[in-house]
Amino acid sequence: MSSVLQSLHPDLTPGLFILFLLSALTIGMSKAGLSGLGLAMVPMMALIFGARESTGVILPMLITADIMAVVYYRSHAVWKHIIRVIPWAVAGIIIALILGNLINDNQFRMILLTIVWIMLILMLANDLRQKKGTEIPENHFFASVMGLAGGFSTMIGNAAGPVFTLYFLSMHLPKKEFIGTSAWLFLILNAGKLPLQALVWKNITMTTLKLDLIAVPVIATGFFIGIYIVKLLPERVYRFFVIFATLATSLLLFL
C-alpha cells in the first residue's frame, strides 16, 4: 500500500492519503452549497503537500467541483453580482501573482483571517442597515474591496471561499441563487488561474494531475451529499449555517 502511494507522491502515507480523500469530499460538499466548509481543506492539503505545492493539487479539484456546481445550478446565477466583482478579483489575482513570493504562510494566514473577520463585520453592519433601508452591497467600494481580497486570497491559497461567501450573503440571495452565482464566479476565476499556476508557479504537474484524477469520484460523492443536506435546510437556517461554518473553518488558518 505504502509503495503504491509513494509512486503517486513521495511523501504520501496511508494516513495522509485518507486526509487527502477527506479534503476531496469536503471540496465536493462545499461546492454543492455548504460553502462554509470550503476553507477546511486548505490546512489539510498544506499539511500533506506543503503550502505552495498544495495549491497546484487543489486547483484542478476545485475546477472539477465548480463544473459540477455550474451544471446543477446553472439557471440560478445572478450575473450582475458576478460582473460587478470580477474586474476587481482579476486585479487581486495579478497582485497576488506579483507579491506571492514575498509573503510567507503565516503572513498569508493572518491577512486572510483579518479579511474574513472584517467582511463579517461589514456584512452584519449591512444587515442592521437594511432594516433602516440602507444598502451597503450596492456601494461599488464594497464590491471593489471584496473583489480584491477574494482575488488575492484565491491566487495565494485557493482560500477565497470565506470572502466571496460573505459577499454573496450580503446580497441576501436566496439559497439556490447564492450557490449558482458563487459556482459561476469560482469557475471563471479558477479556470483563469490554471495557466498561471501551471506556467508561472509551475506547481501543476503530471504527478499532481494523477492525484486529482483519483479524487474525482470522491469529489462527486461529496457533491451529492452536499446537495442532499442543502435541500434539507430552510433558507434562514442555511444562512446561519454558512456564516457559522465560515467563521469556524477560518480559525483553522491558525493551525
Strand (E) or helix (H) holding 157: helix 140-157
Q: What is the pLDDT of residue 133?
A: 46
C-alpha cell read off for 223: 457533491
Q: What is the pLDDT of residue 156?
A: 77
Q: Which of the given ranges, 8-17, 36-45, 50-59, 217-226, has the highest pLDDT on average?
A: 217-226
Residue recorded with cell 494516513 = 15
Over 60: is that where the pLDDT of 193 sits?
yes
Mean pLDDT of 150-172: 81
What pTM did the predictor assign?
Answer: 0.85
Name the residue ranges covered by the structural domains of the chain. Answer: 2-254
Classify 172 in phi/psi space as left (phi over 0), alpha (psi -120 to 50) or beta: left
Q: What's the gap between Cα 192 and its chain centre? A: 14
Strand (E) or helix (H) holding 91: helix 79-99
Tell me the chain's radius of gyration from C-alpha atoms. 17
Cα-based angle 165, 251, 151 (whole degrees, multiple of 5): 40
The closest of 170, 176, 128 to 150, measured between CA atoms, is 170
Q: Which of the given ranges, 99-113, 146-160, 180-194, 239-253, has the highest pLDDT on average?
A: 180-194
Confidence band, pLDDT 50/70/90 cuts, at residue 26: very high
Q: What is the pLDDT of residue 134?
A: 47
Q: How far lies 143's CA from each of 26, 84, 122, 203, 212, in Å? A: 28, 7, 12, 30, 33
Q: What is the pLDDT of residue 153?
A: 81
* Percent of the chain that is helix, strand, coil (3-state, to 5): 85, 0, 15
Q: What is the pLDDT of residue 224?
A: 96
Over 80: is that where the pLDDT of 88 sits?
yes
Q: Which of the given ranges, 44-53, 127-136, 179-188, 235-244, has the highest pLDDT on average?
A: 179-188
Residues 193, 114, 78, 68, CA torsion sign: positive
